[in-house]
Each structure stands twice: as C-alpha cells, then as structure tokens.
Amino acid sequence: MTDAAATAGSSAAANAASAQPEHMAWDSRARRMVMLWLPLACFVLILLFPFYWMTVTAFKPDAELYDFRAHNPFWISSPTLNHIHKLLFETAYPKWLMTTMLVAVCSTFLSLLSSTLAAYAIQRLRFKGSQYVGLAIYLAYLVPPSIQFIPLAAMVHQLGLFDTPFALILTYPTFLIPFCTWLLIGYFKSIPYELEECALIDGATRLQILRQITLPLAVPGLISAGIFSFTLSWNEFIYALAFIQSSENKTVPVAILTELVTGDVYQWGALMAGSLLGSLPVAIFYSFFVDYYVSSMTGAVKE
Amino acid sequence: MSATTAADWLKTRRDPSWIARLFDYKPLLIVLCLLPAVGLLMTFLTYPLGLGIFLAFTDTTIGRRGVWVGLENFEYLLSDPLWWNAVFYSVFYTAVATVLKFGLGLWLALLLNQHLPFKSLLRAIILLPWIVPTVLSAIAFWWIYDPQFSIISYVFVEVLGWRTTNIDFIGSAWPARWSLIAANVWRGIPFVAISLLAGLQTISPSLYEAALLDGSSAWQRFRFITFPMLLPILAIVMTFSIIFTFSDFQLVYAITRGGPVNSTHLLATLAFQRGIPGGQLGEGAAIAVSMIPFLVFATLFSYFALARRKWQQGEGND
C-alpha cells in the first residue's frame, strides 16, 4: 500500500515536472548549453581550425608568417596574394590542376559506365549466382590500394603506361567500381520492378528499359556515385605517387608534396596556398551536392 | 475504318532487327553488362593481388625480372627490427585511432541527432575534413606541428603561459606517433559521425517512448536501445575504418615520411620506401602481403556482424 502510494507520488511528481516546462526552463537551457552546444562548438572549432589556419597562412606575407610576437598569428594585418601568384605563375600548378581534373573526370566516367551496367545486370537481369558476383564486388572494395601499388607498379611498367595519365585512369576504377556498383545496386533495388515488367509486356527490349526507364529514375543515385568517385579520385595519392615521375604529369596532391617541398626551408605560404587551391574544387563540388554525398555515404553503409 | 486502324497498328509493330534481338538475348546481355566492370577489376585488382603475392616470393627489382627465392623475403623481414617496428606501430595506430574515432564520432553523432537549427549546414561543415584531399590537410597539420612556428605551441607558450618551450611534435618518436594519431582521428571523426548519425535516424522513436514510459534513465536508453540498434552499422563502419586506418599511407608519408629515425613507419609506408624509391619490388611486396592477415581478420569481423544482423531480422528478410 505504501509502496503503491510512493510510486503514485513519484509519478505524480514526474508528471508535474513534465507538465510545467516553464519552471524548468532555465535549468534545461543551461543544461542544453553545457551538454549540447559547448561540445558541439568544440567539435566544429577543432574540425575547422586546420582549414582556417591554411587560409590565413596562404594570404599572409612572409614577414608576418614567421614573426608571432609582432603580429597576432590568428589574423592577417596586410593580406597578400604573393603566394598564390607565385604558385600560379612560377610553378606548373595550373598544369597539375588540369591533369588532376582530366584523370578524375575520365576515371569517374569509366567507373560510372561500367558500374551502372554491372549493377543493372546484378540487380535486374537476375541470373544464377548474381548475388555472389555482387558479394565479390563488395569484397573488392575491402582491398586497400596500399597492398596493390607494388604489383600494379610492375604491371604499369610492363604495359608501358608508366608516367602517363592512363596509368591512373585505368587503375582508379579498381576502388571506384566496387563502391559505385554497390551504391547503384541499392538504388536499382528501390525502383519498382513493376515498371520494367510493364515495359517488357509492351515489347520494349532490355536495353530500351535500361535507357528509358531505369536510368532516368536512378539519376540521384548516378549523381551520388559520380560525386563520390570524383572526390575519391581527386584525393587519391599512393598510385599517383608510385606511377608518375615527371613533374608535368603529377596530380595536385603529389605535386605539392614532392615539387613544392624543396630543401630544408619550407615555403609554408606557397604550400598552404597550394593546399587551399587544391582543396577548393572538391569543396565547391561537394557544397553543391552535399545532400547526395551524405545520402550516398550513409546509403552505402546501410546496404 | 476499323480495317485501316488495324493495319496502322500492325504497321508500327515492326519486327525487331536481328541485332536488337541479339541484345535482348539475356545470357549475352548479362555477359556484356558485366564485362567492363569485371574485366577492369580482374585486370587491375585480382591479377595484381595474385602478382603481389607471387612477387613477395621473388627478388624482383624495378626493370629486372626476379627469380623465385621462396620464403627468403619473409625470413629477412622477421629478422628486421624495422619491420617489427612497423607492425607494432600499425597495430598501435589502428587501435588507438579507432577507439578515439569511434568514441568521439559516436558522441558527435548523438549530439547531431538532437533537434538543432541549421542541422544540414552543420552536417555539411562537419564532413569537410573528410572531403578535402588527405594529403592537403596533412600538409596543414605538418605546418601546425612545425617545431618553430607551431600555432599550438604559440597558444601554450605565449597565450596561456603553461609551457616555456615549444612543443616538439614530430621531432622525436613518441610525440610524433601521437601527433599522427591525432591527425588521423581528426580526419576520421566526420565519417564515423555522419555514418552513425544515419544509423541513429533509423531507430524508431516509439522505442524511446516505450522506454520512457517504463521509467528508464538516459544511460539505460543508450545502453539497451541505441547501442544494440546501432550495432550492425557500427560493425560495418568499424570494419571499413580499421581496414583503411591499418593500410593508411598518405598521412604518415606527408607528415613524417616514417621518421624520425623510422619510428613512425606503418607497413604501407615501409613497403613503399623499400619497393618504389628503393626499387626492391620483391621485398616491398612481401611487406604489403604481410598486411593481408590483419585485413582478412577485419573482413571476417564484418561478415559475422552482417550474419548476426540477418539473424536478428529473421530469415529470408534480406
């Protein structure tokens, strides 16, 4: 009896507490501040600080860069474009950007084409063992480039592709195709099969169905896969480092690290300007399609 | 009238040409559709994987075909303190970075899962470290870790006055190891947080309502609802994270290149150093092959996590 009364009392108190939010308002606001906004602000600050520092360094004159006592390092007193000017007109930076763009676009196109066909075959033209092909392609994604670059370097030498963009265009799809295929399988799965059945009854061929029904419906998936492939191939480093030797054929990440770092005195201004300019295309591209990007990343994880 | 419409209708129904019929023949279509993807993967993924294992048993150098030397490369590695050092640091780096990434990433995901203004903007900002090319952000970290002009040292020495000397981030072994782990965690948190956030959003709110009615505490709700429901995604994300942290190359190569005195070599950077500039393809391949057992272990982990999920959902549900 007393037990029941006690529980009744406590539940009444809980009800009162939840029924009177204005009484708790300040408390919960302070609590929310400490538990939510403060950690979130710390996270955002730490995650963004390197970019801020990169930007600040890129626009600082050398005198400010190496004198923290006279100038507040967190701010630029006299911004300069010297580093960027030097980068664009005294190094082969524009050429590196073009090479990177060419490689990224070609390998994205190649892997998008082949993975669309593969995903269609696996998901829609169901055949015996199609799920095993899908599993094998998924497993291919788990093979990291770090264990592949040595045999690939030997192959690239033998095929005579060493030091050409083709070495990169042909090898990047190895890590792009598994991801794109997996993503597109998930997308095709979400398109109702009845649509294709109707088309089949109306006498459409399989290729017509793919071109006129499935692909238009899978455009968001294609965009996601394309963005993902583009950023991945823009960021790729180890193959580009191993297969490219001559300065003018290098991609941006490799070139900054191997061409701009000269001697013992690092040109931090130019290095940061190069990093900033090299990050911008991806960042801009990403900001236009951020929702596709997030959905592709999380979709692939959930599959 | 009706006869002409029938004729018109028949006329539009022309016979498909032999080439259209050929492309509608299902087995051929399957082969054609799979050919580009499977061909590329076979040529540039499966074959090199086999070639790599073969090279590990030869003494190939760049430009010269090697001869079969059996287990000589591996015997040499087992007696090589640098290789043992790289194995130790690879495992240490992966373990510490994974724990930190998932701890902080889960925390960030839980924060983002609450009702917030500008949620999508916040999400976009948080993903930025993961989008930017690793090497370029690694160079920014290199500059942040500069022995003389490090901004962190500046804050500690000049602003806060907690230290009198600059912090030596990458000049000696242990600080360098921790600095690299910090950079890796910085880059990995967004991926973990956003993936786990997607997992959190799939958990039905009715579960939490039921638990609230039953008088559960916040910790109990996390322990008995959030965590078990998140486990399948957690397992997959963790597998990817472990594989790509263990085989990491870019960060270490960009910031320390394995130095100081080879103390921060991961297996991948050691393999690169021996294989490409050193030209010892056979030995480099042996180092790369020695990563495979670890990776297989991580993959099996993923497989059993997936199997467990199927079991939870009931049979034939996937």
Per-residue pLDDT tens for A252-290?
889 888 888 776 667 888 888 989 988 888 888 888 887
Residue B137 placed within a domain: yes
Over 60: is that where the pLDDT of A6 sits?
Answer: no
The answer to whether the CB atoms of B33 and A50 lie below 8 A apart is no
The answer to whether the CB atoms of B40 and A173 lie below 8 A apart is yes
Residue B114 placed within a domain: yes
Domain that holds residue B149: 86-266+291-313
Over 60: is that where the pLDDT of B242 sits?
Answer: yes
Residue B133 placed within a domain: yes
* Test mutation, A147, A188, A230, chain B, max B CBs within 10 A: A147
Over 90: is that where the pLDDT of B25 sits?
Answer: no
Over 90: is that where the pLDDT of A113 sits?
Answer: yes
Residue B98 placed within a domain: yes
ipTM here: 0.82
Which pLDDT belongs to residue A23? 47
Q: Chain A, 72-91: which have a CB under 8 Å from a chain B CB?
A: 73-74
Please give, rounded to a whole number of angstroms, the shortest distance from the CA of B108 to a CA of chain A.
7
A3 falls in which pLDDT band (50, 70, 90)?
A: very low
Q: Chain A, 2-31: which have a CB under 8 Å from a chain B CB?
A: none
Over 90: is that where the pLDDT of B93 sits?
Answer: yes
Whether residue A207 lies within 8 A of chain B, CB to CB, comes out as yes
Residue B60 placed within a domain: no
Residue B258 placed within a domain: yes
Whether residue A292 lies within 8 A of chain B, CB to CB, comes out as no
Least CB–CB distance from A127: residue in B30, B112, B135: B30
Over 60: is that where the pLDDT of B157 sits?
Answer: yes
B125 falls in which pLDDT band (50, 70, 90)?
A: confident
Residue B278 placed within a domain: no
Mean pLDDT of B32-37: 89
Over 70: is that where the pLDDT of B292 sits?
Answer: yes
Over 60: is that where the pLDDT of B289 sits?
Answer: yes
- The CATH number for B297's domain is 1.10.3720.10
H-type alpha helices, chain A: 2-19, 21-32, 38-58, 62-65, 82-90, 93-123, 130-141, 149-159, 165-171, 173-190, 193-201, 206-209, 215-217, 219-235, 238-243, 252-259, 268-288, 290-302
Which pLDDT belongs to residue B5? 52
Regarding predicted confidence, which is higher, A166 or A138? Answer: A166
Q: Minimal Cα distance from B105: which residue of A?
A: A43
Least CB–CB distance from B52: residue in A150, A242, A274: A150
Cα–Cα distances (Å) from A297 to A220, B66, B101, B192, B303, in that order, read 13, 42, 17, 11, 20
Which pLDDT belongs to residue B72? 87
Residues contacting A131, CB < 8 A, separation 6+: A122
Which pLDDT belongs to residue A90? 84
Domain count across chain B: 1
Over 60: is that where the pLDDT of B277 sits?
Answer: yes
A15 falls in which pLDDT band (50, 70, 90)?
A: very low
Which tokens go with A133? 């092909």
Q: Encode burial over B5-40: b for 16+ CB neighbours within 10 A, e otherwise.
A: eeeeeeeeeeeeeeeeeebbeeeebbeebbebbbeb
Structural domains for chain A: 2-54 (no CATH), 91-302 (1.10.3720.10)
Regarding predicted confidence, which is higher, A72 or B285? Answer: B285
Which pLDDT belongs to residue B9? 53
Residue B154 placed within a domain: yes
> Please, what sign has the CA dihedral across residues B285, B287, B288, B292?
positive
pLDDT digits (tens, 9 = 90+) for A231-258: 889 989 999 998 988 888 899 889 888 8
B161 falls in which pLDDT band (50, 70, 90)?
A: confident
Q: Minimal Cα distance from B135: which residue of A?
A: A253
Whether residue A186 lies within 8 A of chain B, CB to CB, comes out as no
**Residues A213, A196 contacting (CB under 8 angstroms):** yes
Which pLDDT belongs to residue B117? 83
